[in-house]
Amino acid sequence: MIAEALFFSAVLFTIGVVGVLTRRNAIIIFMCVELMLNAVNLSFIALSRLHGSANGQVFVLFVMTIAAAEAAVGLAIIISIFRHHKSVDLRNINLLKG
Amino acid sequence: MLQDLAAAGSHPLADTAARYVGLLPLLPLAGFLVNGALSLMPAYKAGPADPSTAGHGHEASAHAGDARAGDAHAVTHGDEHGAVGDDHHVVARHKYAGVASVVGPLVLALSFGLAVMIWLAMAGAGEMTTPYVQTFFDWMVTGDLKISWAFQLDQLSMIMVLVITGVGTLIHIFSIGYMRDDPGYPRFFAYLNLFVAFMLVLVLGASYLVLFVGWEGVGLCSYLLIGFWFSEKANADAGKKAFIVNRIGDFGFLIAMFLLFANLGTLDFTSVAAAAPTLGYNSALVTTICLFFFLGCAGKSAQLPLYVWLPDAMAGPTPVSALIHAATMVTAGVYLIARSGVLFAMSPTACITVAVVGTLTALFAATIGLKQWDIKKVLAYSTISQLGYMFMGVGTGAYAAGMFHLITHAFFKALLFLGSGSVIYAMHAAYHHTGSHEDAQDMRNMGGLRKYMPVTFVLMWIATLAIAGVPPFSGFFSKDGILSAVFARAQHGALSEATWLGMPGSAVLYALYGLGLVTAFLTAIYMTRMMLYTFHGPNRTGEAEQAHLHEAPWSMTGPLVVLGVLSAVGGWLNLPVAIPLGPIGVLEKWLEPVVGAATVAVGGAVGEEVTNTEYGLIGAAVAIAILGIVVAVVKLRPAALVPKRDATPSHGFEQVLEDKYYVDEVYDDTIIKPLVSGSRNILWTGIDRGIIDSLFVNGSAVLARGVGWVGSQLQSGETGAYAWAIAIGALAVLGAFTFR
């Protein structure tokens, strides 16, 4: 049981990582980040159940809260970038170049 | 601290005037503060320093009764360096000159009074075998190092204190007349007072470090006073030269102190004397320490090869030459060796080195003195020569004889310098009066002054006979004491059995005795020459000037008279056994508790019986001195001299002597020029600009910029690149944790 849950979590996380690394659309990258967060949440839940402890679930609640806040801020940034550049393709956005 | 007090309580000098020993340097220091404050006040009187003008006030009218007030009032001594410049100094008396005239000499007189009281207490205390040490406060306490600010009174420092304050007081009084019309008058007394304060610290200090404070302090004051008329570059340069040459000597002093502390762990005189035997008799270590101390002495006391600053130091006012560069400061080296007698007694090598250097210096300087024309330069080289005699004495372990010559030299050389000051004063007044720009210090411009300045004339002849070694004047006894000590050491004692640079010590000392006699002969010649050219023969000052040549005022001749009496009778301080004209060897017995052991260790016990040899030595010394005077009188023709402006250059060896063996030029070429060009080409252009500026300063800037450029290239601004970096980094960390 635990093995399947962790395996699934790892697959989800990998999909998220690959998405972040390969895609160029800011929205998709953002979704991939959410995917990674949720993959971690899944492991937390699974391990919480394995150990019979509520700590994992508490962490998940925190992660979800932070993720919600981060989604709000992140989407706001993406919208403002879009307004400026008329695009959310990250290849065009390198204002922090040194 | 309590222990110190308890120890002091049991000392015979406790509860006597000696407890006020701290006041000795504090009094001149107070004078320095007062005079220094006065000199900082912008205070020049308007108008010329002329007593007859209304603007001059009461203070000047006090001198109106003076016989010379009518014509000499306008003289300034702002420029006695006539060879270099003209009389451009401001002729203005300082507003507070009157206060300075009182404060400057008064603090010295008080100090001298206190010194006499302490001396009376010491003489009354009977046998005093341990020094009276008074600790004021702990100066430095770190780890093993504990230096207290402590003064030490014993027979040796007492003698020095009496000489310094006594002769110092006389010279201060002389300075009133000599410097009164200088605009920097309070500043002059401030420096002079500060000098005496430091000199007293030097001789009273109970450890090498306190002594060193005084040692450096007198060096500072010497620098300030040589360059007193600093607006002329030659004077300022002379001050710098003295200071820099002395640094070389001070380096030796410091090294010697480091070695002492590293090996004995203490710098107190008493502790060093107690612990000295652990250094080992005639070991390389104790020889090194002594020779480094002697390097310091050679700088301060103007011995070969560091004597070059003293002749240039004559750029200072003449009272300074008398006080600092003849009577007191330059004898500090002699004092240091006498004080370190315990150390020197353990190293015959160092002792003979000191004696050899002293003798060679004496001879070398005496030959230069033969052909100098500047009256102060003659005296300067004579001082170097006499200091050489003192080192000959202390080098051969005849500490009492060396100190005796130090004392008598302080008398007669101060007299000679002040007398020359009086001559220069008169010459200057005369030239100033006619507006002439001739050299007031050149003997070719003098001649026949005995008619115009009879008092100075007689007194300077007394000093000349004293320095030449004619009995019964003081110099005869002290010089004879040194020469016969050298002869005795050559016959028996530790030095005669030692070897020096492979030569038997006995032979070296006999040679030194011979050279000492030759030097005595030369001394008699050059001093007689100076007197003949200055006071005898026809006058060469000039027709118009002759009317204005006159004796100095009493404030100047008064101290001269006192010094004249001392120069004449000073020999009675330490009569040799062979000449029982009074109590025998007073000074030697007085100094016995301090230097007696070291004297015996170096020279061996000397019998009291008088041998024919001793009479022979005395006879030889007297004969040599009189022969020198006779040769000078017979050979020299003052009448044939012409004034400086008409003089033709000399030839051959005479010119070499007149140009002082070109030592300054040799130093310039071999040391100063390579040093300057090396500093400029290697240190400045090569190292400072080439390596430090280019490589380190600019190089580090270039490096930082390069690293920054590389870093900036990493910041692509591409989110994808950052994501890859994070991913790879995370993998690397995970991998490191997994496969470690």
How far, CA to CA in Å, does A59 sit from each of A9, A56, B257? 16, 5, 74
Nearest Cβ partner for A96 among B717, B720, B723: B717
CATH number at residue A62: 1.10.287.3510
- DSSP class per residue in B486-500: HHHHHHSSHHHHSEE
Q: Which residue of A has its CA nearest to B730?
A: A17
Min Cα separation B716/chain A (Å):
5
Residue A33 inside a domain? The answer is: yes
- Is there a cis peptide before residue B42, judged by omega within 30 degrees of 0? no
CA B264 – CA B625 distance, rounded (Å): 46
Nearest Cβ partner for A94 among B714, B718, B727: B718
Min Cα separation B251/chain A (Å):
57
Min Cα separation A25/chain B (Å):
11
pLDDT tens, position by position, B96-146? 888 888 899 999 999 999 999 999 998 888 778 888 899 998 988 888 778
- Length of chain B (residues): 740
Average pLDDT over chain B, rounded to an integer:
86
Residue A96 inside a domain? The answer is: no
Q: Do A97 and B717 touch (CB under 8 A)?
A: yes
Chain A hits for B729, Cβ within 8 Å:
none
CA B356 – CA B353 distance, rounded (Å): 5
Interface test mutation site (partner A, options B713, B718, B726, max chain A beta carbons within 10 A): B718
The answer to whether the predicted template modeling score (pTM) of the entire model surpasses 0.90 is no
**Quick one: which H or E segment has residue B348?**
helix B348-369
The residue extents of the domains of chain B are 351-658, 668-738
pLDDT tens, position by position, B34-50? 999 988 887 555 544 44
How far, CA to CA in Å, does B553 sit from each of B67, B173, B321? 8, 12, 20
**Quick one: which H or E segment has residue B603?**
helix B586-603
Residue A18 inside a domain? The answer is: yes
CA B136 – CA B303 distance, rounded (Å): 35
pLDDT tens, position by position, A38-76? 999 999 999 999 999 999 999 999 999 999 999 999 999
Q: Tell me: pLDDT of B436 over 90.
A: no
pLDDT tens, position by position, B477-536? 999 999 988 998 888 888 888 888 888 889 999 999 999 999 999 999 999 999 999 999
Number of domains comprising chain A: 1
SS3 for B34-45 is HHHHHHHCCCEC
Which one is predicted more confidently, B53 or B594? Answer: B594
Min Cα separation A86/chain B (Å):
18
Chain A hits for B724, Cβ within 8 Å:
21
Residue A15 inside a domain? The answer is: yes
Q: Which residue has the tokens 């003979």?
A: B352
Interface test mutation site (partner A, options B712, B719, B722, B728, max chain A beta carbons within 10 A): B719
Domain containing residue A25: 2-88
> Which ipTM did the prediction report?
0.88
CA B467 to the chain's CA centroid:
18
Chain B hits for A97, Cβ within 8 Å:
715-718
- Predicted pLDDT of residue B382: 95
CA B73 – CA B51 distance, rounded (Å): 7
CA B599 – CA B589 distance, rounded (Å): 12
- Which residues of A touch chain B, with CB atoms under 8 Å apart? 17, 20-21, 24, 29, 90-91, 93-98
- Predicted pLDDT of residue B15: 80
Nearest Cβ partner for A90 among B711, B715, B720: B720
Min Cα separation B144/chain A (Å):
59
Q: Do B719 and A90 touch (CB under 8 A)?
A: yes
Residue A7 inside a domain? The answer is: yes
B715 touches chain A (CB under 8 A): yes
